[in-house]
Amino acid sequence: MVSALRFFFTVTLDRPDLSRRLVLARFPRKLPAVLSVEEVGQLLEAAPGIKYKAILGTPYGAGLRVSEVASLKVDDIDSKCMLIRVEQGIVAGFFVPSHPGPRRTAPNGPGHLAATGLGHGA
């Protein structure tokens, strides 16, 4: 908004003296709320079946963002190699491991995606 006003005063009105008084107000950024390990466990346990646990646990275990998950297609999940291809987002164009790392709690072992009917191995 400040840039638009600065342009208006400087270019449209030809009054750069007025645009010098405009100050950009900066607000402190808030950190996002992060679920605890217990809360994630409760979330996954609340899922009604193994299919829904895989749908919740796979993106969490891979560290994907909501926008990255929303753009996933079935062909992006390779259950044989346990990889997820991310086309959009910060890690765009990369393969992300869909299995849990050393500190992850998602229930994604070998064959987990195939057991739910998701991925290429199904």
Contact 88, 70 (CB under 8 A): no
- H helix or E strand, kind and range, residue 58: helix 50-62
- Delimit the domains of the chain by residue range: 37-116
* Whether the predicted model's global pTM rises above the 0.85 cut: no
Strand order in the sheet with 77-78: 77-78, 83-86, 94-97
DSSP letter (8 states) at residue 28: P
Q: Which of these, 35, 110, 48, lies nearest to 80 by C-alpha position?
A: 110
Could you tell me how far CA 14 lies from the centroid of its own chain? 44
81 SS3 class:
coil
pLDDT, mean over the chain = 76
Choose which CATH entry (3.90.1280.10, 3.40.50.261, 1.10.443.10, 1.10.10.10) describes domain 37-116: 1.10.443.10
Q: Cα(97)–Cα(117) distance, rounded to whole angstroms?
A: 19
Which is more confident, 68 or 102? 68
pLDDT in tens, 58-98: 888 888 888 888 888 888 888 788 888 887 766 566 666 66
